[in-house]
Amino acid sequence: MLDTKSTDQPYRKWVEFAIESLIRVIGFSSIGFVFLIFLFLMREGLTALLDVSWGNLLGTRWYPILDIYGVLPLLLGSILVTLIAILIALPLGVGTAVFVREVAPGWAREILKPMIEVMAGIPSVVLGFFGMTLLAPLFLKYLGLATGLTAFTGSVILAYMALPTIISVAEDALDAVPKSYRDASLAMGATQWQTIWRVVIPAARSGILTAIMLGLGRAIGETMLVMMVTGNAGRMPLTLDSLFRPIRTMTATIAAEMGEVAQGSSHYHVLFALGIILFLVTFIINLAAASAIFRKRRRGGLR
């Protein structure tokens, strides 16, 4: 097919160039797509500020069919569920990671690691259904609540969902702590527990911080599950017992209402504005995670 010798060299160069630019286009396109999505989100969402007054947007009541668009209860609802979920998931996740990496015998690790990966694969609808039919009645019965569909129920299941992420990232962080640290600690007469608690975990703390951030990002964006178990009552979670009462999150609101809105209505734009808020929150979380990784690198000693 090819003309030999004379055309061989330029032909090869050309192919090289074509492949290289193709790969470059593919690489850059992902940046482009993110940028385009961002632009679209901004275009659809920022119009809400023209349609709806600030006073209305910052109100404490969400009732879109009468054009009442207070986003505060939704924002606080999302934040409450996510924070509590992480508070529950953090000790469990780090504990599991420590067990898998530092304590468990080889065979147990061989079983545990794939199990954790299976955990990550359970669809959130299944977890939501589990929460609705099993967890909510349990909480209703034994915690003396008015209803089992509460922020707490949502947090518990979200915590379960964020666990695999937290465990695997935290485990990687523990893995990166040099063996010499452990040896030195043990050589100085520290027990295994002292070594883990005072040496290994502090050395891995920036990695554990990353794990928390990624878990947070995973939890705040979750939709189906919170829609099924948190009750979706758009109340302000300001009282002390709010954790044990229903709340409504931003994601559940977008999912429940996007199907019915007329395109271009102010309700439609406000839902996109909720999307922008979510985007910003996850962006900040990811930024924090990235800076934790960066700090880790800069400190040098630990990878």
| 53-82 positions binding other proteins, by CB under 8 A | 61, 63-66, 73
Q: Return the number of the residue (160 or 268) whose C-beta is nearest other proteins.
A: 268
Q: Looking at beta carbons only, is 133 or 191 nearer to other proteins?
A: 133
Among 234, 269, 272, 273, binds other proteins (CB under 8 A): 234
Cα dihedral across residues 49, 54, 60, 63: positive or negative: negative
Q: Is 62 left (phi over 0), alpha (psi -120 to 50) or beta?
A: beta
- Cβ–Cβ under 8 Å, residues 267 and 261: yes
Q: If we measure between CA atoms, which residue out of 236, 242, 240 comes closest to residue 155?
A: 242
Strand pairing partners for 247? 231
Nearer to other proteins, 57 or 140 (CB): 140
Quick one: tokens of 59? 């109100």
232 binding other proteins? (CB under 8 A):
yes
Question: How many residues sit in the footprint of other proteins (CB under 8 A)?
Answer: 31
> According to CB under 8 A, which residues from 114 to 143 bind other proteins?
132-133, 136-137, 140
* Residue 93 vs 231, nearer CB to other proteins: 231
CA distances in angstroms from 51 to 44, 45, 120, 260, 269, listed in the order given = 11, 10, 41, 19, 8
**Contacting residues toward other proteins, per CB under 8 A:** 61, 63-66, 73, 132-133, 136-137, 140, 146-149, 227-228, 231-236, 245-246, 248, 256-257, 259-260, 262
